[in-house]
Amino acid sequence: MTIRNYEQRKSRLIVYDPLDNVPGEHPCFIVDELVENLYFSNIHSKYEDTAGNPVYNRKIF
């Protein structure tokens, strides 16, 4: 089983970016920075080479 690709800043079909309306000092950016720096390699290694559909990246949760 593979892990689905996680690209938070992926370009979209719609030009609108919701982050344009969020002030730079908003707490959501602190949470985002924390999650981006978490180490998930040990968890992801458990899902490599297993049968089934791809699992979602743990950063999404």
So what's the pLDDT on residue 49? 73
So what's the pLDDT on residue 12? 63
H/E run at residue 34:
helix 27-36
Q: Give CA–CA dist 55/21, Å, rounded.
A: 31
Q: Given pLDDT bands bounded at 50, 70 and 90, which one contains residue 47? A: confident
Map residue 53 onto helix, strand or coil.
coil
pTM of the model: 0.55
Q: Give CA–CA dist 42/53, Å, rounded.
A: 19
> Cα-atom radius of gyration of the chain, to the nearest Å?
15
Cβ-proximal residues to 38 (8 Å cutoff; 6+ apart), any chain: 58, 59
Residue 57 has pLDDT above 80, yes or no: no
